Structure 1
């Protein structure tokens, strides 16, 4: 049976591969075009390998994925063995964009550094280098963009540029980005730049139409922390990774704001990605023109109609007011929201053609995006005070970003939670705003516990570990409750400190025992006195009876979880087992000393331990 099954599976696989190999070449190419990484497909068979690595297929894939304007840039970025003369020829045949600026940047980057010479200089340097200088040198040793091109690819690109742009008169050591900066009056304030740019408009258009000037693409907005590119200094020009810096793209965005028709000039040469490449910078720039950081004496605060007109004019030529841009705008003007916040939000409502509640929800969701890295709480406070049910919206955002993982039983996910997703100010603000018993705070406490346990088992990211330690201690001292379902995580914890916080601290207090455990002191948290605590509408005042009932229910819930945990399947860490054993022995000694009076008045956990756990103890 097993043999037949294996034969059938193998036979099916062969038929499947034969079927895929038999596909028409054009259909194979169409499949490849829709893959972000076709390399695994090349391993299927020789036929697929040949199709994937065909220069024509590579060129089409680049154009499909990155557009005609940036296809050649990404081909150079990928380097060998991806790029070769055949790929370059196919890109030129498929009308991939080539500019004089591209040639200039290739000239800047081509060629490898002499690593041995750099080592000798570092070794024989009389003056010790500071750390920043060493990092700059080390980043240059890594292969910068275009440095590892083969000579035949380099010469083919240079020849094409020579044929297209003025032959031997082409200024290969020039910089068209820098020329554009001065022609568009970059050094001048924007009020003075308008006339200067208009005077130079013909030369600017010639730079674009004749020499095909277009900026390089911007790098991904948020780069994973684990990547080596973190060490690259993005203020260097040209940057080692080849992507255009924000500073240079701001030059383009500023020129468009002064002369919007430049968008059409770029589109005429096939640079249709111009709107996408500088969308956020243009839209943010328009708001900064309306609300300058340092207003002049003659500045008049614009009204709603003026803001809407400015945004809609840009919208009419292709720019978009995206969700992310709305969040960025609020952070950009967080110090001035009391003055201009209402106008901004009303303008967003009109431009996006949405109701106020939807825009406010969008604002909150974007502000709670983990990549925002908020440094202040003001903008959160401003938006939350205008939302009817802020806790519901916050929890929805947390779930949307995967901050709250309801499946705490999946231990494999623990390794993914080695750092808090937000900056410390967010956790502190939520605690002050909603209180220790709120749903929001409890949800965040769950994340804090997961991170605390994960970092206690890892030796990486000491800075993140210190951050999570501080926030954990602050939440613990504020008496934010541990949820019973967290016990599934805590029993895997190897940190004696965390387990003590639960059993010798939180649970001891919950069941009215004397608490002898106190965490170490931490730095004093910033004072958030100006935050007004949230008051639930139509909330009833809790009576002593209600408080006692809630506490009794929580005690019972913990009892049930403890019983299931100790009598169910699963493993404990030695630390967890030791701490629980100490805790139960402590309870036993208290009973022997009759410190609680009659048995009927003992705390429920003590009764539970003796009546349930100790009868079938697995601790021995």
Structure 2
């Protein structure tokens, strides 16, 4: 993707003459509202010239990144974007430079001697073989670190500004104000001792911020989940190659703010308004972690309100953490929800929906159902909201994997995504024929058949790890429960049963679920079905569901079109034929068969 740094060579495209004749100040306003003006720069020579003016670049940087981070991003963009004129315009518009910035600039400026590094690597490898990943990491690190390709006149101009603003020749350019802040804010001490030490050093910390403009570098932009990184990235190297502040250094700032929230106001008086946005997630995520005692709900809410008063906002993840932490205080949870509503500025139902989605995050491994029940009883449309939350995490397993693979099925796809209590709760809460239960039985079915295939080709796998054996036992039980209860299974899963190597799974379909659906009488019960615990749950009032007639019709069509093939197991073929015979011998089949044909030809 092209960036603003590429404005030096532009291929112009036709532009509406009226836009080309806009007043310069209006053009600048338009540019300031764009995240990347490259397309506009290619429209005409007039726009290209306007965008490449040093004063326009500096205004765009400050508008987009703020006064504190504008200079950092100008250096990050490098040539041809940055030059002395751009730097002069930034300083003229009061863009900030900190002593910490000068110190980091000194660490990053200049080129490495690539030949010398190659010689060292070659020599070291003759003594001890170097890990290839480590070698690539070193080579990437020395390619183009932040500020390394800065023009010398720009580098010297920034150093001069630091020299003039701070202590002249006595400026500790080889120091590290981030490290100083770490020790002044009692970073090495435990929380109980750190509060006292930080307050003792409060005056010196304020001097570091007010006099020397200390502020962390901006956090690294979040990488989208769908982005695939082809090589391991080590962001713990200091200074980071890309210049952005590492999480480790950001945690130093977050910890200090949690101990002394008024520090935020000191930074804001310095016009570092982005401090809240830069570390909001870290601060919110650490409220519960940075305590050497179990905070009461009252303490937590007071702490949260204090942080909200200086601009911080609860994150989705933090709300989920807090709910689980205080789930034993259900009668007081409403106060916590109200605090979230105020902190996020959202309506109550939206907050409850966010909380539900966080509780249903498979990574949380929720062990209790009462908190789910409490949240669902207050949501406007609990069934639909739950269904959407489950789908947002892609709980359903990809069917193709189970069809195309045998013993190479990933272990994770043969285990339940949630603890058994969640599946049991959903069944009791929403009922057998709810979209929620139907969606979950799809995940349960695919995992159960995947487990059967994986076990066939890896018989020692379960016995090798106690957790795997326990997980598979939980899966077996939930599978049996859902089938015994008659949760509708979609006919599209029939091809999975064709190749399933476990007889009991096939019998659950043909001797338990389908006979119950067609009212033929259940003649089979799985050998191990743990009794479901009695859950104190307020059942959801059902809306209209699909009729059993519709489900029967779909299954008849699927069974009728299921022909013999080489992939079918002998057990499946035998059970399929026996079930067909049971249907044909049933008196109601004639009517159902006729209606099925009408349905298909209607």
TM-score normalised per structure 1: 0.66
**C-alpha separation between the residues in 2 aligned to 1:215 and 1:375?**
31
Q: Which residue of 2 aligns with 1:537?
A: 539
Q: Which residue of 2 aligns with 1:415?
A: none
Contact 1:263-1:275 at 8 Å conserved across structures: yes
Q: Does 1:170 align with 2:171?
A: yes
The alpha-carbon deviation at position 176 of structure 1 amounts to: 0.2
Select the residue among 376, 380, 392 that pairs with 1:403: 392
**C-alpha separation between the residues in 1 aligned to 2:118 and 2:87?**
35
Shift in alpha-carbon separation, 1:137–1:581, aligned structure 2, 3 A: closer
The alpha-carbon deviation at position 209 of structure 1 amounts to: 1.5
**C-alpha separation between the residues in 1 aligned to 2:591 and 2:132?**
58
1:573-594 CA-to-partner distances (Å, cap 9, x unmatched) read xxx99969989xx999998x99
Q: Which residue of 1 aligns with 2:551?
A: 554
Shift in alpha-carbon separation, 1:311–1:529, aligned structure 2, 3 A: farther
Which secondary structure state, in structure 2, belongs to the residue aligned with residue 425 of structure 1? coil
The alpha-carbon deviation at position 210 of structure 1 amounts to: 1.6
Q: Which residue of 2 aligns with 1:393?
A: 382
Contact 1:55-1:86 at 8 Å conserved across structures: yes
**C-alpha separation between the residues in 2 aligned to 1:25 and 1:273?**
29
Select the residue among 288, 301, 306 that pairs with 1:313: 306
The alpha-carbon deviation at position 15 of structure 1 amounts to: 8.5
Please give the residue correspondences for 1:115-126 in structure 2 after superposition, counting only pairs within 5 Å: 115-124=114-123, 125=125, 126=127
TM-score normalised per structure 2: 0.67
Shift in alpha-carbon separation, 1:539–1:350, aligned structure 2, 3 A: closer
1:103-135 CA-to-partner distances (Å, cap 9, x unmatched) read 111222223444454444444412223477446
1:433-479 CA-to-partner distances (Å, cap 9, x unmatched) read 3249442243356789999xxxxxxxxxxxxxxx9xx9xx9898876
Shift in alpha-carbon separation, 1:439–1:32, aligned structure 2, 3 A: same
**CA-atom RMSD in angstroms:** 5.3
**C-alpha separation between the residues in 1 aligned to 2:252 and 2:23?**
47
**C-alpha separation between the residues in 1 aligned to 2:230 and 2:76?**
14
Please give the residue correspondences for 1:25-104 in structure 2 after superposition, counting only pairs within 5 Å: 25-104=24-103
Shift in alpha-carbon separation, 1:343–1:387, aligned structure 2, 3 A: closer
**C-alpha separation between the residues in 2 aligned to 1:176 and 1:531?**
58
Contact 1:346-1:356 at 8 Å conserved across structures: no
Contact 2:341-2:348 at 8 Å conserved across structures: no
**C-alpha separation between the residues in 2 aligned to 1:135 and 1:253?**
32
Which secondary structure state, in structure 2, belongs to the residue aligned with residue 219 of structure 1? coil
1:467-510 CA-to-partner distances (Å, cap 9, x unmatched) read 9xx9xx989887677876x96xx99xxxx869867xx9998777
**C-alpha separation between the residues in 1 aligned to 2:323 and 2:557?**
46
- Structure 1 gap segments, 5+ residues each: 1-13, 296-300, 406-419, 452-466, 514-526, 541-546, 567-575
Contact 1:482-1:506 at 8 Å conserved across structures: no
Contact 2:423-2:440 at 8 Å conserved across structures: no
Q: Which residue of 2 aligns with 1:256?
A: 257
**C-alpha separation between the residues in 2 aligned to 1:149 and 1:477?**
66
**C-alpha separation between the residues in 1 aligned to 2:563 and 2:148?**
58
The alpha-carbon deviation at position 57 of structure 1 amounts to: 2.3
Q: Which residue of 2 aligns with 1:596?
A: 581
Q: Does 1:325 align with 2:322?
A: no
- Structure 2 gap segments, 5+ residues each: 1-12, 395-411, 448-467, 501-505, 517-528
Q: Which residue of 2 aligns with 1:571?
A: none
